[in-house]
């Protein structure tokens, strides 16, 4: 969302990190929850016109979109119960990452810091 939104302290950092990952030909994945977050955020601030551009940018950037299903949500519940400082959304992302053996996340959200086996790249 930082890439298409207005001025934000993370905008240039997000662009730079993605450019570096693309230059290194890193495989980029996301999960369906990220699209839901775009829907939620832009509808809540009445910027529905930004939803389509955000979807298009994300679809152009990633190599794969990982599904969110009941087993992922059930594992997210376990993560949430064991780590009270993690948000429900972060727990869901962590569940998907765990399932697919993903150990690095591009996020400015410090909620991922300190979670075992995860390195935050921002």
Domains and CATH numbers, the chain: 11-120 (3.40.50.1010)
With tokens 């992302």, the residue in question is 93
Q: Per-residue pLDDT tens for 40-57?
A: 999 999 999 999 999 998
Q: Which residues contact 28 (CB under 8 A, 6 or more apart)?
A: 18, 21, 61, 62, 63, 106
Predicted TM-score (pTM) of this structure: 0.87
**Region for 82 from its dihedrals, namely left if φ exceeds 0, alpha if ψ lies in -120 to 50, beta otherwise:** alpha
Beta bridge mates, 120 = 105
Asked whether the beta carbons of 99 and 68 are under 8 A apart, the reply is no
Q: Per-residue pLDDT tens for 110-119?
A: 889 888 999 9
With tokens 């950092």, the residue in question is 13
């Amino acid at each position: 969302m930082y890439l298409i939104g207005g001025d934000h302290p993370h905008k240039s950092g997000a662009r730079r990190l993605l450019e570096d990952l693309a230059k290194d030909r890193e495989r980029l994945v996301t999960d369906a929850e990220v699209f839901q977050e775009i829907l939620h955020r832009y509808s809540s601030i009445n910027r529905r016109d930004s939803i389509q551009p955000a979807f298009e940018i994300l679809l152009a950037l990633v190599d794969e979109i990982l599904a969110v299903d009941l087993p992922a949500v059930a594992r997210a519940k376990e993560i949430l119960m064991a780590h009270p400082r993690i948000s429900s959304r972060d727990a869901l992302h962590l569940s998907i990452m765990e399932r697919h053996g993903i150990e690095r996340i591009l996020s400015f959200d410090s909620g991922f810091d300190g979670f075992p086996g995860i390195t935050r790249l921002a």
